[in-house]
Each structure stands twice: as structure tokens, then as C-alpha cells.
Structure 1
Amino acid sequence: MNLDPKLMEIIRCPDDHGTLEPVGEELVCQTCGLAYPVRDDIPVLLVDEARKPA
């Protein structure tokens, strides 16, 4: 995954506005735990596409 650091400073979880951290090929919210996929280096920040925490 190759995301611009400036992008990572401004994007937030659309569900609770928490900070997103890259984990593998996903961005994981540090507050609620939702994991958003990153496809072709583009974050898909749709709650319906997010993986729920286990």
C-alpha cells in the first residue's frame, strides 16, 4: 500500500471520525476498529464496505 502521508493526515473514519492506521492492505480505525479496504492505492471509506472488528 502506497498512500501519501499528507492524505493520511486528513482522512478519518466515516463512522466515528477516528484516526485510521494502515494495517496490511486495510486502514483500521483506532477508535471503533472498522477496517476499510484499500484497492489500487485508493482508500474505500464506505461503512458498508468496511470489515467489522472480530
Structure 2
Amino acid sequence: MTESSQFDRRMLEALVCPVSQSGLSYDAERQELVSRQARLAFPIRDGIPIMLVSEAREL
């Protein structure tokens, strides 16, 4: 099973950015959840979104 198939896109509907409380978009190529409002990208590792600001990449 590939990493991209491990991430359940339905989970995206339940998750929000911990900074802005806004919705997230899924970047399959980079395996990240992106908060455009907070300008942060949260990594997905082994199919698990890491929703820690300290782990996020600034956009």
C-alpha cells in the first residue's frame, strides 16, 4: 500500500487547522495538509496527519 492510499480523504472533512480553525486542502504530491489561511503545511507521515504547529512547514 502506498503512502498516498493510506491517507483517508474523508478524514480531511473532520480536520481543521489548529491555528486558524479553517479548512485544509490535501496536497497528494507532497503528502501534506495545507492551511492557506495560516500559510502552513502539515505533514502526513505513514498515513497520519501531524497537526502540530512545530512540525508544520511555512508556505
What TM-score, normalized by structure 2, do the two folds share? 0.77
Superposed CA RMSD: 1.2
Structure showing greater Rg:
2
Identity over aligned pairs, percent:
38
Aligned length in residues: 53
Unaligned runs of 5+ in 2: none
Structure 1 gap ranges (5+):
none
Q: After the TM superposition, which segments of 4 or more aligned residues of structure 1 sit over 4 Å from their partners?
A: none
Q: Answer with 44-53 or 29-38: which moved more.
A: 29-38
Question: What's the TM-score once normalised by structure 1's chain length?
Answer: 0.83
